[in-house]
Amino acid sequence: MRVLWMEKGKLKEFFYSMKAFGELWGPIQKGKTRIYGKAENFSDLKLEPGRTALPIKKLIHPSKFTMFKYDKQEYSTKLENIPRRVILGVSPCDIHGLLKLDEIFLEEEPDPYYEKRRDNTAIIGISYCKPCCDSCICQSMGTDVVDEGYDLFFSDLEDFYLVWVGSSLGDDLVRLNPAVFHDDIDRTKLEKFVECKKERDKLFACSIDMDVLPDIMELSYDSPIWDELGDKCLECGACTMVCPSCNCYNVIDEVYLSEGKGKRFRYWDCCIFKEYSLVAGDHNFRENRGERLRLWYGHKLNSFGPYGRPACVGCGRCVDACPVDINVLTVARALLESK
Amino acid sequence: MKRRTITDITRVEGHGGISVDIKDGKILDIKVNVYEGPRLVEQLVVGKSPRDVLNIVPRICGICSLSHRYAALLALEKALGVKVPKATEMARNLMLIGEILQSHVLHLYFLALPDFLGYGSSIDLIDNHEDLIMLSLGLKSFGYRMNQVLSGRMVHGENPVLGGFGLFPERSALLELKEKSQEFIAMVQSTIELFASFEFPVTYDKEITFMCLNPTDGEYAYLGDSVVVSDGTEWGIDDYKEYVKEYVVPYSSAKRAKYKGKPFTVGALARINLLGERLTGEAGRYYKSLYSNNWKANPLFTNLAQAIEVLHCLESVPKLVDRIIKLKEPGIVEAELDSGASVGAVEAPRGTLYHYYEIENGLVRSCDVVTPTAQNLDDIEKSLKIAGEQLISLDSMDKLESTLEMITRAYDPCISCSAHLIRINYTDKDS
Amino acid sequence: MHEKEENSNPYLPEHARIVRKYNLSSDVRFFQIRYVDMDRALTMKYLPGQFMMFSVPGVGEAPFSISSTPSRPGLLEFCIREVGDVTSALFKLKENAIIGIRGPYGDGFPLDDIQGHDLLIIVGGLGAAPLRSLLLYALDNRDDFGKLYLLHGARTPEDMLFREEFLEMMERDDLNCLLAVDEDPTGKWKCHIARVTDLFDHVKDIDIENTYAAVCGPPVMYKFVLEKLVNIGIPKNQILMTLERRMKCGMGKCGHCVVGDIYTCMEGPVFSYWDVLNMKGLI
Amino acid sequence: MLNKKRIGIYSFTGCSGEQLVILECGKYLLKLYEVVDIVGFPMAQSKNTIMDLDIALLEGSITTESQLAELKEIRDSAKTLVALGTCACYGGIQSMKLGEGDWKKRFQEVYGADDKLYNKMKPMESKPCNEFVTIDYYIPGCPMDKGQFLHTISHIINDTPPHLYPFPVCTECKWKENDCLLNRGELCLGPLTRGGCGAVCPSHNIPCVGCWGPAEVTNMPSEYKLLLEKGYSQIEIFRNFRKFGGTPMVEKLKNMMEKLR
Ligand SMILES: Cc1cc2nc3c(=O)[nH]c(=O)nc-3n(C[C@H](O)[C@H](O)[C@H](O)COP(=O)(O)OP(=O)(O)OC[C@H]3O[C@@H](n4cnc5c(N)ncnc54)[C@H](O)[C@@H]3O)c2cc1C
Ligand code: SF4
Ligand code: SF4
Ligand code: SF4
């Protein structure tokens, strides 16, 4: 992979030059939270360790959108209206989250909505010499580093950036302003990189023992833990909404007042909701909240998607989101203690 | 004796009817009954926290929910020693202006205009007066947009809280309001001219007693600590119970109010009569050219008064926005006290609205709400009687009915709120 | 009218016409449909056990097993029970009405594996929908299969889906057609009055080790039938069943049908008993 | 459309918020008038009837005998009944003290001991429409949301089933990327309240007060325990649960207390 470096002060210039590709986005402050939002100015961007309320999935797999419209004659989609965007400042765990979603949405029969948004979005990752926050578990999940799924990746090494070019689109972006990049990476730069990573590794406050957890998860199918957690769970859906690797959605038809016209739209669903797995005759395959939580944690900590790997990318969002403290950390702890 | 009941005055908000007693071709009595079922709102808030009060009292009325919220805020904040920054105060005033605009627009275009143009509903206007319909829809949406920006949503927005705003309105949204407000000026001017061209079916010669808040800064505004009356008196809002005396009638679920034993009128017409001289800009120009002594006696001028106020509200938006965005974004001021009692009053779209609370250890001990419609009901009856006597000789019952309805509507009675003005005497004193 | 192009949006339904429909029982109706696009109608490929997503604009989508056999191209057949929004809307439509369909989805029955073996088809209630497809396929390709049994149970004769069709099949000598009802209020039932599981007594001369069984029916039926099949010695990986889950896409995207990490719509809806034993929560 | 559906919009005890929302539908309102016959809408038109209705939209809760009689008449004449807003769906704020003490005494405390008005008005404690007649569809909210109203009414007019979000306010609150108020220690009813408002209040840093009414599936005991842990008193918590909870909340609280005992 091609690796370049950039002086710290040049990022602003490069940022604006990417306007040639599309809208400029990145982590910005909205009230009390940080979100991925449109950045009119480089100074709007929060380029420092920290986490956005929703992961980057909200831009590729939006919380709700119209799939297509229909009338008496036909069904029609307008994929060409999906804007082109550059997102600067995507965290490694969020990129891993996208890779998980890619497994679902791009393999077998690709989902055209996801695919188009993915194609139209330039992902520019960034990492720092510090973890994003105290609840990050990316180190345990092996998602603190990333080597695919982005177009460019910036390692913020305090006085300069190392820049990985991850795709041909990334290369095109570099070409928009080649003068700000250098390819003469010397030894001191590499040393700085290694040193920085080592420093960061020491700073993670949370961890999960992923060597044993998938097996324990498997063995705890009938554990009373699930009922205990089920008693506590508020069934509010917060954990699934904020999780970068949750892909589930629901589909609803909407008719217009005038006859014969309408649209079908999609919105994020959540396997913790009772209605999620209800079928005819009011039969529910996961009647109890505990069973539903078990499914979710099974996905996050044991096996998910076509490759059967744990889906959790260690972003720590569920740790912050759940009002009653049910999250990968507490569940992992409970499982490990109960065995 | 023949008794006619015009059940359910249509095109007013809520549930009310007029009953007319006629004997030997003479009107014996006309009564406005309010049928609305009881909610006992003032009683619901007893034992609740100030925050609860702010969730509950706006629900008294959907059309002027922010006026209720504002009056309650003023009372509660005064009682608990909260003094909000200027920016908060001005943003709240802007919010009130939005509500007055939106409420007046609903009344003028949706409820009153069909009367004057002879249609059964405003939607029927679409064929011949599409421009008016489109203007009214646009204006109303703008009013609701103001509600949304300032209070959080169209109706019952919870954003204005004790001590400030949950989220202070964004600068960009305020600027959007400023810009958008100007789009309607010309069209509203033609609406004023349209209303000025209407002939009234009844004449009045006796002057009405008017009442409204007296804005301290000398402007035409909707807030003040004292009340001016057309008889020349002025008194502080804390004394409202002495001047606005409530009483019950057996035929209606709404209380009434009298001033010195006589009916009186509050609302747009009262404000224009008492404060009209203060109007500036285009609104001031229209006031000068249209105002006459007839406005002092005929309640049907309320429509014109409202139309002028719509223009005034639109003209006020840019001024207020400019002042707000110059100030520092205010935070929420916390209450210092947990006991106290006070009155808060605002000019709601339909007139002066009083809220009174007594708080003890953080919970409401007693509450009193006096709504504008309650204050107007006696005068509505009075002007219906005068009109009835003029019209009975016409011997056309239909004409009588429709004219009485039209006069009732002119007062823009928000009957759903008038049903809630029953004073509560239990103050847990004996319990 | 919309035509399916290569690489077009897989969520867009294609137009199909309801050619014929009639009642199979009080709440189950038979639908015969055909793609409006004749080319598509004739070239569509599918396997018994696969399903299609039906779309009624304004109402939504629901999955239904194909009841017809790919060996008779052109028309697609379904039997549908009225349970909710989409099904009620379908019931209201008249013949000739246009609906949207997309598919086929799922993994059908592993025909390559079954071929050359004896086959028991065990049907309860609406389980007739997917299994009729397998049965008709086997009959149309009779030489590819060994002994062929149909064991079909219903509550009453009225409830037996495809009753006439199956009664006619009793005449065939290349099929052992065993039909049973729990009770017979009509008094005219000429076949068995028994439970499906009792019909096993009439299954003879099959090479147990080399027999495949395909089961579909209400959840309660599985318990007893599976036990029986295991008891008579049919290998667990040769016992096949099709399962129902809530589905919103049919392509492993919406997540609703997931069991553990298995997407029923992609890896199913046909599973073997061995799968079921290995994947907690499947039935 | 050949046979236009006959629709009526009627109001009982409430703040008229739903009718205002309908009037604010702008061009959709004009469209609605085009595709159906609005034969009853006393707030907006002069000629009104309750006869031969296809769809009746009801606002407000029932608080007098005459309202009850009218409600029953409307049920008899209408094919489909839709409850608009939290008052009609659950009883509204005026039902928040339902079952607490002697209602007639409360009434008299307000109107005086003289029974004249009581006998004339024949009032009763506020209850939602479904306490008396079958309601076919519900559009909760105080006031209801314009989008949800248009969605539901379009579906009913076109004879297709409407779908309102089944999930609680928190779900949409996450979509809005708010900082969770419950986690900040506020008494937020988001997890117990039906979604659909777009999490307006939390988006303004204000805890949800529950104006969309109780969501069907919730874990109230857990939220209750959580709020106790956060230092709220039982009285305060119940007061908030009941503010917009109407009749379903009475039931839910009873069940919860039984469970916790
Ligand atoms: C692979 C597969 C093949 C199938 N094949 C057939 C077939 O051949 N024939 C057949 O008749 N069926 C078949 N089904 C079942 C059929 O798809 C379902 O019954 C489907 O739900 C019917 O759609 P509907 O819109 O009519 O029902 P829905 O309206 O979705 O309702 C169905 C049931 O789901 C529950 N439900 C749904 N939504 C809600 C909600 N919002 N709130 C509460 N409960 C809700 C209820 O219990 C209701 O009874 C198959 C299913 C699968 C997965
Ligand atoms: S399970 Fe929790 S920590 Fe893991 S990716 Fe999802 S939200 Fe992040
Ligand atoms: S703020 Fe309230 S509504 Fe939002 S997630 Fe937290 S508890 Fe739920
Ligand atoms: S957040 Fe809660 S209180 Fe606010 S509008 Fe929504 S449901 Fe009502």
What range does the domain containing D97 cover? 5-157
pLDDT of B6 reads 54
pLDDT of C28 reads 92
Ligand nearest the Cα atom of residue A278: 1
D36 reaches B (C-beta below 8 A): no
**Please, are residues B271 and B305 in contact by the beta-carbon 8 Å criterion?**
yes
C62 reaches D (C-beta below 8 A): no
Ligand 3 center to D183 CA (angstroms): 8
Both tokens assigned to C203: 């299954």
Question: Do A161 and A191 belong together in one domain?
Answer: yes
Q: Answer yes or no: do A323 and D158 touch at CB < 8 A.
A: no
Can you tell me the distance from the alpha carbon of D177 to that of D58, in angstroms, rounded to the nearest whole number? Answer: 34
Let me know if residue D164 belongs to a domain: no
Question: Do A170 and A256 belong together in one domain?
Answer: no
Question: Do A196 and A219 belong together in one domain?
Answer: no
Q: Which residue of D has its CA nearest to A273?
A: D167
Give domain limits for chain C.
2-105, 111-242
- Which residues in chain D have Cβ-Cβ distances shorter than 8 Å to C85? 160-161
Please state whether beta strands A23-30 and A33-38 pair in parallel, antiparallel, or not at all (unpaired): antiparallel
Domain boundary among D129, D157, D185: D157
pLDDT of B424 reads 26
Residues in chain C: 283
**Please, are residues C140 and C71 in contact by the beta-carbon 8 Å criterion?**
yes
Q: Which residue of A has its CA nearest to D29?
A: A257
Q: How many CB atoms lie within 10 A of CB A9?
A: 10
Can you tell me the distance from the alpha carbon of C96 to that of C32, in angstroms, rounded to the nearest whole number? Answer: 10
What value does the mean pLDDT take over residues A229-254?
A: 94
Question: Do D152 and D184 belong together in one domain?
Answer: no
**Please, are residues B418 and B14 in contact by the beta-carbon 8 Å criterion?**
yes
Question: Do D144 and D19 belong together in one domain?
Answer: yes
Please state whether beta strands C192-193 and B256-258 pair in parallel, antiparallel, or not at all (unpaired): unpaired
D177, D182, D191 ranked by CB distance to A35: nearest: D177
- Secondary structure (DSSP) of C158-203: GG-TTHHHHHHHTT-SS-EEEEEES--TTS---SEES-GGGGGGG-
Number of H helices, E strands in chain D: 12, 7
What value does the mean pLDDT take over residues A83-108?
A: 93
D196 reaches A (C-beta below 8 A): no
pLDDT, one tens digit per residue, over B307-366 is 999 999 999 999 999 999 999 999 999 999 999 999 999 999 999 999 999 999 999 999
pLDDT, mean over chain A: 90
- Which residues in chain A have Cβ-Cβ distances shorter than 8 Å to D185? none
Let me know if residue D238 belongs to a domain: yes
What range does the domain containing A221 cover? 213-337
Question: Do A149 and A18 belong together in one domain?
Answer: yes
H-only helix segments in B26-170: 41-44, 50-56, 65-79, 86-105, 113-117, 130-151
Can you tell me the distance from the alpha carbon of A217 to that of A225, in angstroms, rounded to the nearest whole number? Answer: 11
Question: Do D229 and D204 belong together in one domain?
Answer: yes
Q: D129: helix, coil or strand?
A: helix
Both tokens assigned to D81: 């009944």
DSSP summary character for residue B110: I
Let me know if residue A47 belongs to a domain: yes
Question: Do A182 and A81 belong together in one domain?
Answer: yes
Ligand 1 center to D85 CA (angstroms): 30
pLDDT, one tens digit per residue, over C167-203 is 888 888 888 888 888 888 888 888 888 888 888 888 7
Number of domains in chain D: 2
pLDDT of B426 reads 25
Q: Answer yes or no: do D64 and B422 touch at CB < 8 A.
A: no
Both tokens assigned to B387: 């009109």
Contacts for B116 with CB less than 8 Å, ≥ 6 apart? B195, B198, B303
A226 reaches C (C-beta below 8 A): no
Any ligand 1 atom below 6 A from CB of C51: yes
Let me know if residue D163 belongs to a domain: no
Q: Which of A133, A206, A242, A243 to mutate to test the pocket of ligand 2 (most atoms within 8 A of CB)?
A: A243
Domain boundary among D133, D157, D181: D157
Calculate the CA dihedral of residues C135, C137, C139, C145 and round it to 10 degrees: -90
How far does the CA of residue C195 sit from the closest CA of chain A (Å)?
22
Residue A149 has pLDDT above 70, yes or no: yes
**CATH class (in words) of the domain with range C2-105:** mainly beta
For the ranges A30-34, A263-267, C207-211, the lowest mean pLDDT is seen at C207-211
B44, B153, B425 ranked by CB distance to D93: nearest: B44
Ligand nearest the Cα atom of residue B58: 4
Ligand 4 center to D194 CA (angstroms): 9
Q: Answer yes or no: do C248 and A251 touch at CB < 8 A.
A: yes
Question: Do A228 and A148 belong together in one domain?
Answer: no
Of the CA atoms within 13 Å of residue B344, those in its CB half-sphere come to: 22
pLDDT, one tens digit per residue, over B164-214 is 999 999 999 999 999 999 999 998 999 999 999 998 888 888 899 999 999
Ligand 2 center to A299 CA (angstroms): 10
Architecture of domain C111-242 in CATH? Answer: 3-Layer(aba) Sandwich (3.40)
Question: Do A153 and A92 belong together in one domain?
Answer: yes
Can you tell me the distance from the alpha carbon of C206 to that of C209, in angstroms, rounded to the nearest whole number? Answer: 9
What value does the mean pLDDT take over residues A167-187?
A: 92
**Crossing angle for the helix pair D220-229 and D234-243, nearest 10 degrees?**
140
- Which residues in chain B have Cβ-Cβ distances shorter than 8 Å to D29? 123, 137
- Which residues in chain D have Cβ-Cβ distances shorter than 8 Å to C58? 155, 158, 160
- pLDDT one digit per residue (tens) for chain B, 431 residues: 455 555 555 555 555 677 777 777 777 778 777 766 778 888 889 999 999 999 999 999 888 999 999 999 999 999 999 999 999 999 999 999 999 999 999 889 888 888 888 887 777 887 788 888 888 889 999 999 999 999 999 999 999 999 999 999 999 999 999 999 999 999 899 999 999 999 888 888 889 999 999 998 889 999 999 999 999 999 999 999 999 988 777 777 777 888 988 999 999 999 999 999 999 999 999 999 999 999 999 999 999 999 999 999 999 999 999 999 999 999 999 999 999 999 999 999 999 999 999 999 999 999 999 999 889 888 988 888 888 888 777 666 777 777 888 888 888 877 555 443 332 222 233 33
Please state whether beta strands C98-105 and C51-56 pair in parallel, antiparallel, or not at all (unpaired): antiparallel
Question: Do D131 and D23 belong together in one domain?
Answer: yes
DSSP summary character for residue A110: -
pLDDT-based confidence at residue C157 (cuts at 50, 70, 90) = confident
* Amino acid present at C197: T
Ligand 1 center to A279 CA (angstroms): 5
Suggest the residue from A221, A251, A267 to mutate for an interface test with chain C (most C CBs closer than 10 A). A251
Let me know if residue D250 belongs to a domain: yes
Can you tell me the distance from the alpha carbon of D54 to that of D153, in angstroms, rounded to the nearest whole number? Answer: 12
What value does the mean pLDDT take over residues A46-59?
A: 94
Residue A89 has pLDDT above 70, yes or no: yes
- Which residues in chain A have Cβ-Cβ distances shorter than 8 Å to C11? 67-68, 111-112, 264
What value does the mean pLDDT take over residues C120-129?
A: 90
Question: Do A269 and A186 belong together in one domain?
Answer: no
- Which residues in chain C have Cβ-Cβ distances shorter than 8 Å to D161? 59, 85
Question: Do A131 and A239 belong together in one domain?
Answer: no
Ligand 4 center to B321 CA (angstroms): 27
Domain boundary among A201, A229, A258: A201
For ligand 4, residues with CB inside 6 Å are: B 158; D 169, 193, 197, 199-202, 208-212
- pLDDT one digit per residue (tens) for chain D, 261 residues: 457 899 999 988 888 899 999 988 888 988 898 899 888 887 777 777 888 899 999 999 999 888 899 899 999 999 999 999 999 999 999 998 888 878 787 777 777 777 777 777 788 889 999 999 999 999 999 999 999 999 999 999 998 999 988 899 999 999 999 999 999 999 999 999 999 999 999 999 999 999 999 998 899 999 999 999 999 999 999 999 999 999 999 999 999 999 887
Can you tell me the distance from the alpha carbon of A214 to that of A323, in angstroms, rounded to the nearest whole number? Answer: 25
**Please, are residues B338 and B255 in contact by the beta-carbon 8 Å criterion?**
no
Task: Identify the CATH number of the domain defined by range B41-375.
Answer: 1.10.645.10
Any ligand 1 atom below 6 A from CB of A279: yes
Print burial letters for C88-123: b (CB count within 10 Å at least 16), e (below 16).
ebbeeeeeeeebbbbbbbbbbbebeebeebbbbbbb
Q: How many CB atoms lie within 10 A of CB A19?
A: 11
Residues 191-250 in D contacting B (C-alpha not used; CB under 8 Å) = 197, 200-201, 203-206, 209, 211, 236, 239-240, 243
**Please, are residues B189 and B135 in contact by the beta-carbon 8 Å criterion?**
no
* Amino acid present at A211: D
Let me know if residue D132 belongs to a domain: yes
Residue C226 has pLDDT above 50, yes or no: yes
Both tokens assigned to A139: 């180190």
User: Which protein residue's CA is at the shortest distance from atom 8 of ligand 3?
Assistant: D170
pLDDT of B9 reads 55
Q: How many CB atoms lie within 10 A of CB A282?
A: 7
Number of domains in chain A: 2
Of the CA atoms within 13 Å of residue D94, those in its CB half-sphere come to: 31
What value does the mean pLDDT take over residues C115-133?
A: 90
Q: Answer yes or no: do C59 and D160 touch at CB < 8 A.
A: yes
Let me know if residue A67 belongs to a domain: no
User: Which protein residue's CA is at the shortest distance from atom 5 of ligand 3?
Assistant: D170
Beta bridge partners of A266: A65, A251
Number of H helices, E strands in chain C: 8, 15
pLDDT, mean over chain C: 87
Question: Do A320 and A297 belong together in one domain?
Answer: yes
Question: Do A88 and A33 belong together in one domain?
Answer: yes
Q: Answer yes or no: do D117 and B248 touch at CB < 8 A.
A: yes
Give domain limits for chain B.
2-37+378-428, 41-375
**Please, are residues A26 and A88 in contact by the beta-carbon 8 Å criterion?**
yes
Q: Answer yes or no: do D243 and B56 touch at CB < 8 A.
A: yes
pLDDT, greater one: A164 or B252: A164
D45 reaches B (C-beta below 8 A): yes
Beta bridge partners of C177: C150
Q: Answer yes or no: do D191 and A323 touch at CB < 8 A.
A: yes
